[in-house]
Amino acid sequence: MSNPLRLGIAGLGTVGVGVVRILESHADLLAKRAGRPIEITAISARSKGRDRGVDLSGFAWEDDPVVLATRDDVDVYVELMGGEDGPAKASTEAAIAAGKHVVTANKAMLAMHGQALAEQAEAGKTALKFEAAVAGGIPVIKALTEGLAGNQITRVMGVMNGTCNYILTRMENEGVPYDQVFADAQALGYLEADPNLDVGGIDAGHKLALLSSIAFGTKVNFAGVALEGIQRISTTDIEQARDMGFRIKLLGVSQLTGRGLEQRMQPCLVPVNSPLGQLENATNMVVLEGDAVGQVVLRGAGAGEGPTASAVMGDVMDIARGFSMSTFGQPATGLQDIQAAQASAPAAFYLRLTLKDAPGALHKITGALANAGVSIDRMRQYSHQDAAAPVLMVTHKTTRAELDHALDGIMATGVTLESPVAIRIEDV
C-alpha cells in the first residue's frame, strides 16, 4: 500500500474531535477505499490540557497553527478553527504557500477571501476543499461540481441554517413566540456566540455565496447577498401562512438573470406540500435545478459532529485518491466578476398590517397599494377587542421596488400602529 496521507488538524472543537473519531473507528475501511492509510501526525488548538473525550497523546502538538500548517510531516492541513481572518486565514495561506493541500469548514473565511485563496492554491497546484463549509453533511458541492457537471444550473435554493429552521419549526408546532424559542436555542448552544450570524441570515448567506460561485461560475460575492433575518416573524405570521397552505422558511435563492446575479437569504413562504415545506427542525435542504436534470433535492443534517466531520473526510478522501479539481469547479482566474442584480424577480407577497380601528383606515391602505401599482389577490380581516385591527393581505406578483413604494405609502397614511411585515412567497 502507498505511503500514508498525513493530516495536521487545527481546531479540536466538535468537528475536529469528530474527524479524530472517524479516523480512529474507520481506519481500515478508509485505507481500503483510499488505497493508502490516512493518519493524523500533528494537531493544534487553543487549550492543550482540555479533556476532549478522545486520546490525542499520539499526535505532535503545536501551539501556533501557522507552524502546524507548514510542518514537513503534514500533507493536508485541516482548518477547523473558524473565523473570517486571524489565525484561520494566516495558517491557510501559510499551508498553501508551503505546498500543502487544505481542507476547511470555514464558510466565513471563504465567503470573504475565497477568490484570493483559490487563486493562490491553484497557482501552487494544491487543493483547497470545503465541502463541510456548506450544509454540513449534505454533499452539495460534490453534486454541483461532479454529478451535475453536465448541466447549466438555473437556480439554487435551500434552507441552510438549522438553527433558524429549528426556531421556526418550534414556533409553528408549539405556538411559542420567537423570543422564548430564541432563548431556548441559546441555552441549548444552538446559536453562534454572535446570534445574529444565525438569526440574521449571515451564516446562511455565506453558504449561499459559495454555492452561487460554483453553480454559476462567478467570483464569490457575499456583499451581493440580500440579507433579511427571522427576527420579525411572529406566531401570527406562521399561523396565517399555514392557513393559506404555506410554511415560513429562511430560504436562500440564487439565480443568474439578465439583471445580474440575484442572491437572496430571507424569510419566504413555501408550499406546505413541497420538499422545503416539509422540512422540520434543524435539518438542512438544498434544491438544485439544472437544464438537463430538472430539480434535484438534497436533504440531511446541516451541522453537528458527525455530519460535518463526514464532509471533511469526504474531501480528505478525494485528496488521498489523487482526485484533483479547481476550488470552485473551474479555474478561479476564469470566474466571472458579475454585478449583483439590483432587483429580484417579481413575486407575490404576504403582508401583515396592524391598523387603527378607525373609519376609512382600510380604504387608505388599499389606495396606497393601488398608487404603487400593487394589486391584492386575497385579504382577510380579523375580529379584535381593542383599537388595533389586524389585516392580512396577499398581493399578486409584483417587484420588491413596487412593494417598497407601497409600504412607504402605507406608513405615510398614519393609520398603521406598527411597521408592516412583508414576506415573499417563493415559487418552488
User: Where in the chain do CATH 3.30.360.10 domains reside?
Assistant: 150-301
The CA–CA distances, whole Å, from 306 to 195, 204, 385 equal 23, 20, 51
Q: Which fold has domain 348-425?
A: Alpha-Beta Plaits (3.30.70)
Domain spanning 5-104: CATH 3.40.50.720: yes
The predicted structure's pLDDT at residue 359: 87
Largest CA distance in the chain: 84
Q: What mean pLDDT comes out for the span 252-278? A: 95
Mean pLDDT lowest among 51-65, 104-118, 148-162, 178-192 = 178-192
Q: What is the pLDDT of residues 334-382, one digit of tens each?
A: 999 999 987 788 999 999 998 888 889 899 999 999 999 999 998 888 7
Q: What mean pLDDT comes out for the span 33-43? A: 97
Sequence-distant (≥ 6) Cβ neighbours of residue 292 within 8 angstroms: 150, 151, 152
SS3 213: helix
**What's the rounded Cα separation, in Å, for the pair 428 and 425?**
9
pTM above 0.75, yes or no: yes
Q: What is the pLDDT of residues 4-32, one digit of tens each?
A: 999 999 999 999 999 999 999 999 999 99
Which of 129, 207, 219, 249 is labelled catalytic? 207
**What's the rounded Cα separation, in Å, for the pair 415 and 112?**
43
What one-character-per-residue DSSP string does 54-104 give?
S--TTSEE-S-HHHHHT-TT-SEEEE-S--SSHHHHHHHHHHHHTT-EEEE
- Is residue 1 over pLDDT 60? no
User: Where in the chain do CATH 3.40.50.720 domains reside?
Assistant: 5-104
- Number of neighbours of residue 55 by Cβ within 10 angstroms: 9
State the first-to-last Cα distance of the chain, in angstroms, to the nearest integer.
49
- Is residue 192 over pLDDT 90? no
Please report, for the chain, how many H helices and E strands are present, in that order.
Answer: 14, 16
Q: What is the pLDDT of residues 308-323, one digit of tens each?
A: 999 999 999 999 999 9
284 neighbors 301 (Cβ within 8 angstroms): yes
CA 149 to chain centre: 22
Sequence-distant (≥ 6) Cβ neighbours of residue 35 within 8 angstroms: 1, 2, 320, 321
- For the CA atoms of 186, 192, 195, 196, what is the dihedral angle to 10 degrees? -160
- Number of neighbours of residue 197 by Cβ within 10 angstroms: 19
pLDDT tier, 384 (very low <50, low <70, confident <90, very high otherwise): low
Q: In 141-158, which positions are buried (b, 16+ CB within 10 angstroms) versus exposed (e)?
A: bbbbbeebeebebebbbb
What's the mean pLDDT when you consider all of the chain? Answer: 94
DSSP state, residue 346: P
- Decide if 397 is catalytic: no
pLDDT tier, 156 (very low <50, low <70, confident <90, very high otherwise): very high
Q: Which residues, listed in sequence order, are joined to residue 262 by a DSSP beta bridge?
A: 255
**What's the rounded Cα separation, in Å, for the pair 76 and 62?**
15
pLDDT tier, 385 (very low <50, low <70, confident <90, very high otherwise): low
The crossing angle, in degrees rounded to 10, of helices 361-371 and 400-412 is: 150
- Is residue 110 over pLDDT 70? yes
- Is residue 207 over pLDDT 80? yes
- Is residue 395 over pLDDT 90? yes
pLDDT tier, 208 (very low <50, low <70, confident <90, very high otherwise): very high
Sequence-distant (≥ 6) Cβ neighbours of residue 97 within 8 angstroms: 70, 120, 124
State the cell numbers at 376. Answer: 391584492
What does CATH list as the number for 150-301? 3.30.360.10
